[in-house]
Amino acid sequence: MQMAMKVVENHPYVPEDMNIDTSKKSMSSKRLEMAAEILESSVFDEERDRHAPWRWPKDVWLQCDSCKRWFHQLCLGMTTALLNRFKKGKWKCCLCC
């Protein structure tokens, strides 16, 4: 993922610095950093995202009642019954628990 990220950041040029620290500590830290960046980008913005295709169908998405981020049912590993139960009540994502 780090290599792909460097290529995307430097597109259309080939990045010169492709040195990636693959130690367990560095990889773990980088995974957390990248996951946080992805999750921070998942906050819904009404103006920016009103026509976003990921919003439909709504029946497979769950919004955290605390941070307002959206999560996909399959990514959460939830059954439809569990998803529907949380939609009726309060639900907090793993970042807010």
Of 54, 53, 71, residue with least CA distance to 62: 71
Could you tell me the two tokens for 97?
């628990």
Residues paired with residue 43 on neighbouring β-strands, in sequence order? 69
Q: Residue 30 — left, alpha, or beta (φ > 0 → left; ψ -120 to 50 → alpha)?
A: alpha
What is the SS3 assignment for 92?
coil
User: pLDDT (tens digit, 9 = 90+) per residue, 27-81?
Assistant: 888 888 888 777 777 666 666 665 554 555 666 888 899 988 888 888 888 898 9
Could you tell me the two tokens for 82?
């569990």
Residue 34: the pLDDT is 83
Residue 45: the pLDDT is 65
Backbone angles phi, psi at 44, to 5 degrees: -75, 130
| CATH architecture entry for 52-97 | 2-Layer Sandwich (3.30)
Residue 95: the pLDDT is 84
Residue 30: the pLDDT is 86
